[in-house]
Chain A
Amino acid sequence: MEKSGTSRAMLALRIGVLAALTLIGAVFAYRHIADASSQGPIPAAKRDREAKDASRRFGRRAPKPSDTRAPRPAQSSTPGWEKGIVDDDESPSSDYAIRNRWVGTVHGSDVVVFAGASASDASQGLVVVQQLAGDGSASDPQAFVTPTKAGPVHVTTVHGSRVTLVADDGTTFTFDAATLRFD
Chain B
Amino acid sequence: MRSLRTRRGPRLPAAVAIATIATAAFLTPLPAQAAPTAPAYTTSRYMQNVSTSRHYDLGCALGTRTKNLAGTQQDVVILHYFRPVRFTDGTYGASLLAGSDARTSSIAAAAKEFAHGYYVCTGSDTTSKLILAIGTSNDGSEVTSSHGKAWANLVLSVNDYLSYMGYSSQAWAVGASDVELGFGGPTAARAWMDGFSSVCCPQFYDYGDAAGCRYDGKAAGAECGTGSYPTWTAEDVWYIAWGSPPSRPLPQIYRTDGAMAKQWYGLSLYARSVHSTAMWFMGALTQYNACSTSGCSSSTANTPGAGWTQLWNAINCKYFITTSCPTAQSLTYSTDMSWTD
Contact status B167-A6, CB under 8 Å: no
* Closest Cβ–Cβ distance, residue B324 to chain A (whole Å): 5
Q: Does B277 contact A (CB under 8 A)?
A: yes
How many A-B contacts at CB < 8 Å in the complex?
A: 204
Q: Does B161 contact A (CB under 8 A)?
A: yes
In the assembled complex, which residues on chain A have CB atoms less than 8 Å from the CB atom of B306?
none
Q: What 0/1 readout, one digit per residue, does chain B (238-255) give for beta carbons within 8 Å of chain A?
A: 000000011100000000
Contact status A93-B153, CB under 8 Å: yes
In the assembled complex, which residues on chain A have CB atoms less than 8 Å from the CB atom of B277?
39-43
Known: A24-B25, A41-B277. A17 touches B172 (CB 8 A): no
Contact status B116-A71, CB under 8 Å: yes
CA distance A21 to B107 in the complex (A): 62
In the assembled complex, which residues on chain B have CB atoms less than 8 Å from the CB atom of A74?
53
Contact status A35-B163, CB under 8 Å: no
Q: In chain B, what residue has the closest Cβ to A41?
A: B277
Contact status A1-B103, CB under 8 Å: no
- Across the interface, A27 reaches (CB within 8 A) one of B26, B112, B116, namely B26
Known: A53-B203, A62-B119. A73 touches B113 (CB 8 A): yes
Q: What 0/1 readout, one digit per residue, does chain A (16-30) give for beta carbons within 8 Å of chain B?
A: 110110011001100
Q: Does B296 contact A (CB under 8 A)?
A: no
CA distance A106 to B215 in the complex (A): 62
Q: Does B121 contact A (CB under 8 A)?
A: yes
Q: In chain B, what residue has the closest Cβ to A37?
A: B328
Q: Does A94 contact B (CB under 8 A)?
A: yes
Q: Does A2 contact B (CB under 8 A)?
A: yes
Q: Does A159 contact B (CB under 8 A)?
A: no
In the assembled complex, which residues on chain A have CB atoms less than 8 Å from the CB atom of B87?
133, 135, 137
Q: Does A68 contact B (CB under 8 A)?
A: yes
- Across the interface, A13 reaches (CB within 8 A) one of B10, B21, B119, B200, namely B10
CA distance A58 to B167 in the complex (A): 9
- Across the interface, A39 reaches (CB within 8 A) one of B51, B116, B172, B326, namely B326
Q: What 0/1 readout, one digit per residue, does chain A (49-89) give for beta carbons within 8 Å of chain B?
A: 11011001111111011101001111110110000000011
CA distance A13 to B13 in the complex (A): 9
Contact status B324-A31, CB under 8 Å: yes
In the assembled complex, which residues on chain A have CB atoms less than 8 Å from the CB atom of B161?
89-91
Q: In chain B, what residue has the closest Cβ to A131?
A: B89
Contact status A138-B163, CB under 8 Å: no
Contact status A78-B30, CB under 8 Å: no
CA distance A16 to B11 in the complex (A): 8
Q: Does A139 contact B (CB under 8 A)?
A: yes
* Closest Cβ–Cβ distance, residue A123 to chain B (whole Å): 17
Contact status A58-B11, CB under 8 Å: no
Selecting from B1-9, B182-190, B287-295, the interface stretch reads B1-9
Q: Does A178 contact B (CB under 8 A)?
A: no
Q: Does A97 contact B (CB under 8 A)?
A: yes
Contact status B15-A57, CB under 8 Å: no
Interface residues of A (CB under 8 A from B): 1-2, 5-6, 8-10, 12-13, 15-17, 19-20, 23-24, 27-28, 31, 34-36, 38-43, 45-46, 48-50, 52-53, 56-62, 64-66, 68, 71-76, 78-79, 88-94, 97, 119, 133, 135-140
Interface residues of B (CB under 8 A from A): 2-3, 6-7, 9-11, 14-15, 17-18, 21-22, 25-26, 30, 49-53, 56-57, 60, 64, 87-91, 100-103, 105-106, 108-109, 112-113, 116-117, 119-123, 126, 153, 156-157, 159-169, 172, 200-203, 245-247, 272, 275-278, 280, 323-329
